[in-house]
Structure 1
Amino acid sequence: MSKAADMAKVSVKGGFHVMWGLVASTVISAAGTIIIALLLGPENYGLYAIALTAPTMIALFRDWGINFAITRYTAQSNTKDKTANIRSIFMSGLIFEIALGIALSLIGFLLSDVLAVTVLNRPTITPLIQIASLSILTNALLSTATAAFTGIEKMHLNSIMLVSQSILKTALIIALVLLGLGTYGAITGFTVATLLTGLIGVLLMFTIYKKLPKPEGGKLEIGQNVKVMLKYGLPLSIGVILAGFLAQYYNFLLYIYVPDDALIGNYAMAQNFVVLITFFAMPVTTMLFPAFSKLDHQRDSETLKNVFQTSVKYASLLVVPVAAMIMALAQPAISTLFGNTYAEAPLFLALLAITYLYTALGNLSIGSLINGQGQTTFNLILTVITAAIGFPLGFILISNYGVLGLIITTLATSIPAITIALIFIKKRYNLTVHWKSSTKILLSSATAATLTYAILTQLNSFTSLTRLIIGVAIFTPTYLTAAILTKTFNRTDISNLREMFTALGPLRRLFNIILNIIEKLMTTLRTNHEQDKKHTQ
């Protein structure tokens, strides 16, 4: 079996574990979000979202690229049978993250009044920011454990943390809000839940740590490891900080130029719904980074090409149609749950989903490829370019068009970086996206979404739930039909997927049933299509 096939199996298995964790945690969180949003109302829900912005901004200075380094060097050590190094990597990263997390939590607490009054222009949320500042440290524990589990490809542990966090967060926030604590209860519940989950993650890390062989001489070499990790991760960290500042800059402009907290609450609700797409996007991005970290572009050039092109195609087959369906069904989906309470959210959701259409351009794969090959400085350059465009464009569009301006800015600023990255990987690694496949996937998804939306606009007399069900029933067969007729995927893809799904054990039978149905549909449609062509000749 080829190296690429082996890696695909590992990635599918890990991706499946990521997916079930995401699905379970998101279902729990979504149910909680609906209840919390109804209990708080748009205005208080908007304040809840705003209060979390300040510690999120400060937390950008916490990582310094250490978590990226933990994943990369753990994956490399695991592949090269140097598992003794993993102990040092784990401990070095954890100590660094805890130390910086404590320092930044204190800074967040001390600056809470300045941030609330001067930056956010909402003096009443000072106590909320003080409570939320502890989440800087607790998220440090969470992210370190996540990076460690990703590097050693123990993705089920990440899912355990995700589900634990969702259960704790949902239960605590709802309980405290029902006790009459309002936004204070929501922020406290969020922070305590993150703390408890972070501790669970660290405990799981230590169960693995104890089983690892000790390094030669018994010394962990914390200082030396941190230096190596910083050398790799610092450019990434600067990029993350810059990108984070850009995102917060957009948010601050939004808070300044959009005084209507209810409108911001609508935007926050749309962001909550767009995570449905991450069910499919997150497993891809999570598993590709350690996969690309294992490959050397000179020694494994052919494998690297296969892994890259396959990752773009199969990620697009999953993510692009889901994004297109959410765009088409945004209005009935949100109306089913909230009626007219969040009236502007459907438009925001449809626009936010456009970002995931960039998957067909390689957006989910390129960053993992570049970072996995150690070219972190180039990724920093891409972020600088995005920021150089985003800061002035964001000011112009957000100050004039509010939430719509923010979303359009985000969509527009991504395109130059993707274009430059594609040119870079072509020149350096001789890699490119299979453009024919990407075009077919986009065309099939657009066809299904357009037809679905056009039909639903004629069914306004139906209930939102009925329209939602009809929409799904129209989109799914339309997409499959279009994809088969355009040969977006073929029997080779079916065969490849069957081979990958063998890594899932007994669950492969379920996926094989789905693949068998698609294969039969493929045979039927193409036979009919060929017969029609003969009759017309």
Structure 2
Amino acid sequence: MTDDLTKVVEDSARGGFFLISGSLSATVISAVTSILIGRLLGPELYGQFYLSLVIPQMLLIFSDLGIAAGVTKFAASLRAEGKHYQAAKIIKNAILLRALIALIFFLLNFTLADYLASVLLRRPDLGFYVRLTSISIAFNMILTIANSAFLGLDKTHNAALITNIQAISEAIISIGLVAVGLSITGAVLGYVASYAVTSIVGLSMLLLILHRYLREKKNPADDFSFPQTFKTLMRYGIPLYTSGILAGFIYQYQNFILAIFTTNSDIGNLRVAANLITIITVFSAPITTTLFPAFSKLNSSKNAELTTFFKFANKYVTLLIVPIATLLIIFSKEIVEITYGSKYQTAALFLSINCLLYFLVGLGYLTLTSLFNGLGETRITFKINLIIFLTLLPLSPLLAKAYGVPGVISALISANTAGTCYGIYTAKRKFKIKIEPNSIIKIYIIGVASTVPSILLLQISTLPQLIKIISGGLIYLFTYTTLAPLTKIVNKSELEIATQIVQKIKPFATIIKPFLIYQEKILNHQKSKT
């Protein structure tokens, strides 16, 4: 692995650590906030609060135009080429463009709040709250741009920081205002204020970085005008924007199919399963987010570097996600009962089936989109989403009618399989990129084999459920970590690179280094025997 490629891997590892740790803490804070506000407001008012956010959040989907992804891509690629001034200029113009779009959508939401509450929500009495939450659109859009810029500029610690500032701000302001008697108005004000505070902090941090870059000497040819920025971002972003619209429609289409073919109880159980699947997304989302700017730094003409990095990234993402998904399947029943109680009888089954989607990770399910977007091939990303959509369209009602909720989940898995297969085929044809089939197959095998001790524990143990999950999980991870070097999934050179990288990320090193040392000892022991 070249020095440049090692640097990209190092940046990705650092970025992934900050985003995962930031996402974990923010998720916990948000969950606690949600529970406390839900308890203070009660089911009726909490439902009204949730509905008040629907229209602004829906408008945010339509307002992006792929600009945020474009900022990450061009900030990363231009910075990798040493063009800091151009990177800063395109970010600055993107902030202005985003602010203009935010103003339009804010005015749209603010002016039509009563009408939208009446027609879309069927609750005209929520017009005031919908109008109040419209203010969050402008702040949210600016915050998204700042976050995207931080990712592209390798300032992931800033991205993690502002994510937590938003969660903490909402917790303090919302809970405080609701507790003093402002009810739903307090919850809405807390939500809006949290984005106002965070966007101001995030934008201030970003402008300080940009000011430093903009002071660099430049050639007149390096300047990026506002019209140039608009054209560049639109050319790159519109396919991604269309993909996002398709993804949003897929989600709503599935809800529509569920409403027709399943019961309220089934939908409630599926909602529980969807909430618990975030245990995987807390890890997968930051990884895919980090890989996006990493691929943006690589040149598509350098096939050797691109292939090496993709294989490395895909292999280690698979190595991380497979055990998490497997553990959720094994302990699905216990996890559901501890978190939601025994009344959600089919949630464990739905959770287990949902986890199967993440077994596509070895084929590039979590890495291909980052690859194509990073290389500027957003049209391929759009085609992948179109294939998913066109596959899901007939399959979802057919399987839902025959099998209910498991049929709907199976349709989603089948559609994503089709999209992922097209993606890996295109990556191979266009960029000569391949996966490592031997390593990927071995990961799946040891992922399944490592379940044996944990399943035995479940069958024979009379321990409390929480103790079963903790002890069974630790046994599984020990077995999995032992089998990885024994089966040559990881080798000595990879462990040396990994050790070299994690040593530069102090908090990360504390967690990961003991595992690396343990695996290295196993490899050394094997070598001494031969």
Taking structure 2 as the reference length, the TM-score comes to 0.87
Partner of 2:292: 289
Displacement of 1:427 after TM fit?
A: 0.9
Q: Counterpart of 1:83 in structure 2: which amino acid?
A: H
User: 1:227-242 residue pairs with structure 2 within 5 A?
Assistant: 227-242=231-246
User: 1:290-369 residue pairs with structure 2 within 5 A?
Assistant: 290-298=293-301, 300-340=302-342, 344-369=346-371
Q: Counterpart of 1:434 in structure 2: which amino acid?
A: E
Q: Counterpart of 2:296 in structure 1: which amino acid?
A: S
1:174 aligns with 2:175: yes
**Separation of aligned partners in 2, 1:144 and 1:176:** 29
Partner of 1:409: 411
Is the CA contact 1:10–1:503 (under 8 Å) kept in the aligned structure 2?
no
Displacement of 1:240 after TM fit?
A: 1.5
Displacement of 1:78 after TM fit?
A: 0.9
**Separation of aligned partners in 1, 2:300 and 2:347:** 44
Structure 1 residues 170 and 273: CA distance shift in structure 2, 3 A: farther
**Separation of aligned partners in 2, 1:97 and 1:415:** 35
**Separation of aligned partners in 2, 1:120 and 1:254:** 19
Structure 1 residues 486 and 453: CA distance shift in structure 2, 3 A: same
Partner of 2:277: 274
User: 1:191-270 residue pairs with structure 2 within 5 A?
Assistant: 191-214=192-215, 216=219, 221-254=225-258, 260=264, 267-270=270-273
User: 1:398-437 residue pairs with structure 2 within 5 A?
Assistant: 404-437=406-439
Taking structure 1 as the reference length, the TM-score comes to 0.86
Q: Counterpart of 1:280 in structure 2: which amino acid?
A: F
Structure 1 residues 513 and 42: CA distance shift in structure 2, 3 A: same
Give the structure, 1 or 2, with the largest relative contact order (CA under 8 Å, sep 6 or more).
1
Instruction: Report SS of the residue matched to 1:364.
Output: coil
Partner of 1:534: none
Displacement of 1:342 after TM fit?
A: 5.4
Displacement of 1:120 after TM fit?
A: 5.4
Q: What's the CA shift string for 1:362-413, capped at 9, x where partnerless?
A: 1121111112222111221222221122233334455776654543333221
Is the CA contact 1:83–1:212 (under 8 Å) kept in the aligned structure 2?
yes
Is the CA contact 1:120–1:255 (under 8 Å) kept in the aligned structure 2?
no
**Separation of aligned partners in 2, 1:387 and 1:161:** 34
Instruction: Report SS of the residue matched to 1:503.
Output: coil
Is the CA contact 2:63–2:101 (under 8 Å) kept in the aligned structure 1?
yes
Q: Counterpart of 1:244 in structure 2: which amino acid?
A: G
Partner of 1:466: 467
Displacement of 1:149 after TM fit?
A: 0.6
Q: Counterpart of 1:171 in structure 2: which amino acid?
A: I
**Separation of aligned partners in 2, 1:10 and 1:166:** 26
Partner of 1:31: 32
Displacement of 1:189 after TM fit?
A: 3.2
**Separation of aligned partners in 2, 1:492 and 1:447:** 25
**Separation of aligned partners in 1, 2:380 and 2:36:** 44
Q: Counterpart of 1:329 in structure 2: which amino acid?
A: F
Aligned residues: percent identity?
29
Q: Counterpart of 1:282 in structure 2: which amino acid?
A: A
Displacement of 1:147 after TM fit?
A: 1.0
Is the CA contact 1:452–1:474 (under 8 Å) kept in the aligned structure 2?
yes
Structure 1 residues 3 and 466: CA distance shift in structure 2, 3 A: same
Q: What's the CA shift string for 1:149-206, capped at 9, x where partnerless?
A: 1111111100111111121223334344545666665454333323322222212111
Structure 1 residues 5 and 465: CA distance shift in structure 2, 3 A: same
**Separation of aligned partners in 2, 1:462 and 1:35:** 31
Is the CA contact 1:49–1:268 (under 8 Å) kept in the aligned structure 2?
no
Q: Counterpart of 2:472 in structure 1: which amino acid?
A: G
Q: Greater shift after overlay, 432-441 or 178-187?
A: 178-187
1:380 aligns with 2:382: yes
Structure 1 residues 198 and 303: CA distance shift in structure 2, 3 A: same
**Separation of aligned partners in 1, 2:394 and 2:186:** 37
Q: Greater shift after overlay, 178-187 or 420-429?
A: 178-187
**Separation of aligned partners in 2, 1:165 and 1:416:** 37
Instruction: Tell me how large the CA RMSD over aligned residues is.
Output: 3.3
**Separation of aligned partners in 1, 2:155 and 2:440:** 31
Structure 1 residues 392 and 510: CA distance shift in structure 2, 3 A: closer
Q: Greater shift after overlay, 305-314 or 406-415?
A: 406-415
Displacement of 1:434 after TM fit?
A: 0.5
Q: Greater shift after overlay, 283-292 or 62-71?
A: 283-292
Is the CA contact 1:173–1:187 (under 8 Å) kept in the aligned structure 2?
yes
Structure 1 residues 441 and 272: CA distance shift in structure 2, 3 A: same
**Separation of aligned partners in 2, 1:188 and 1:393:** 42
Displacement of 1:521 after TM fit?
A: 4.6
**Separation of aligned partners in 2, 1:190 and 1:479:** 42
Partner of 2:77: 76
Gaps of 5+ in 1: 532-537
Q: What's the CA shift string for 1:319-360, capped at 9, x where partnerless?
A: 221122122223323433443465554444333333322221
**Separation of aligned partners in 1, 2:348 and 2:39:** 17
Displacement of 1:60 after TM fit?
A: 1.7
Is the CA contact 2:482–2:519 (under 8 Å) kept in the aligned structure 1?
no
Total equivalences in the alignment: 526
Displacement of 1:307 after TM fit?
A: 0.5
**Separation of aligned partners in 2, 1:450 and 1:184:** 52
**Separation of aligned partners in 1, 2:24 and 2:270:** 22
Partner of 2:481: 480
Partner of 1:62: 63
Q: What's the CA shift string for 1:476-532, capped at 9, x where partnerless?
A: 2232244344332232332221122233257536533331123335566x599x89x
Q: Counterpart of 1:224 in structure 2: which amino acid?
A: Q
Gaps of 5+ in 2: none
Displacement of 1:303 after TM fit?
A: 0.8
Is the CA contact 1:65–1:236 (under 8 Å) kept in the aligned structure 2?
yes
User: 1:448-467 residue pairs with structure 2 within 5 A?
Assistant: 448-449=450-451, 451-453=453-455, 455-456=457-458, 458-459=460-461, 462-467=463-468
Q: Counterpart of 1:78 in structure 2: which amino acid?
A: R
Is the CA contact 1:165–1:193 (under 8 Å) kept in the aligned structure 2?
yes
Is the CA contact 2:17–2:508 (under 8 Å) kept in the aligned structure 1?
no
